[in-house]
Structure 1
Amino acid sequence: MAEDIDAFDYKILALLQEDGRISMTDLAERVGLSPSPCARRVKRLEEEGYIDCYVALLNAKRLGVALTVFINIRLASQTRAAFDKFDAEVATIPEIVGCHLLTGAFDYLVQVRVGDIEEFRDFMRDKLTAIEGVVETQSSIVLEQLKSTTSIPFRTRSTRTSNSSIIQR
């Protein structure tokens, strides 16, 4: 738990997760501070690494990459060199939008975005299984996305409430 941020900081973080383009004036008003102290807090939260970056979330369907697939991957070897080689290869493949090192039966879980099943077939054949050391994959095609968020859940020290309850409307 973050020890050096207070209730104002938590409110700022919650509001910025909801709308990263909110003006400093509106943010300050919603948090209950004047703009200058609010801006100083945002700058400090950025400098201390609580805020990594600001992004625009794009519509995958409109951009022609509506098919989401999660793929479990097992490597032939669980050595540091094998993991490093796989990590480096994955970093170069734009269709892989998420990659997680796992415990259990599989070594990795990757999230892939492609246009359709034919593109997925080509991706598997030409890119993923072409990575040296990949010996097994298990794919799950997403039929419907029920929830997707970029918000990180957090709880304040004093209230133990979720960030959605921090924002007072």
Structure 2
Amino acid sequence: MVKLDDVDMSILQLLQDNGKRSYTDIAKRINVSEGTVRTRINRMLKERVFEFIIHMDPNKIGLNVQAIIGIKTQLGKQETIATKLNEYPEVRFVGAFSGRHDLILQAYFKNNEDLVNFVNKELSKIDGILAADVSIELKQYKDSFSYINNQE
């Protein structure tokens, strides 16, 4: 398990607020050297504490339908099905959950027709899927990858 101290958490918070922030700016804000910031960031990247990504607005790139799909799987096939679902570019997230659905996935589509095709043609090809419960996002209230409270 990675041990993060207050300096690491401060760096993460500043990067979360603005991922383009320079090492020099971060160093000044938390009163450490630029070398310390560079070393800490490189260590956290290597240990996969975080990654730099571009977070796009799906609607602005033509993905107008977001679906959350709950999947009921045949016993013993959950892992194989999850691995197969990872191969689809439409699928952004796959996770195993307790409760009514064995797997829950989040996927984005250009339109409802593409979603229907995915469910009826692609999911139906995967051996071991017993049922799929599709929910379409009607309105979004929050979409965030922030995990650290902003204390600035």
Sequence identity (%): 25
CA deviation map 1:67-111 (0-9, x unaligned) = 111011101x221xx123202211211111111101112111111
Unaligned runs of 5+ residues in structure 2 are: none
CA deviation map 1:130-164 (0-9, x unaligned) = 211111111111011100111224xxxxxxxxx32
How many residue pairs get aligned? The number is 152
> Post-superposition shift, 1:56?
1.0
CA contact (8 A) 2:82 2:103 kept: no
CA–CA distance in 2 between the matches of 1:7 and 1:32? 12
Match for 1:130: what amino acid? K
Unaligned runs of 5+ residues in structure 1 are: 154-162
- Residues 1:43 and 2:42 are matched in the alignment: yes
Structure 2 counterpart of 1:78, from 58, 75, 78: 75
Query: Secondary structure at the residue paired with 1:103?
Result: coil
TM-score (norm 2): 0.90
The answer to which of 93-102 and 128-137 deviates more is 128-137
Q: 1:121 to 1:55 in 2, by over 3 A?
A: same
TM-score (norm 1): 0.81
- Residues 1:22 and 2:8 are matched in the alignment: no
- Residues 1:120 and 2:115 are matched in the alignment: yes
Query: Secondary structure at the residue paired with 2:138?
Result: coil
CA deviation map 1:6-38 (0-9, x unaligned) = 222111011112222211111212222231222
User: Which residue in 2 is equivalent to 1:139?
Assistant: 134
The structure 1 segments of at least 4 consecutive aligned residues displaced by more than 6 Å after TM superposition are: none
Give RMSD over aligned pairs: 1.8
User: Which residue in 2 is equivalent to 1:164?
Assistant: 150
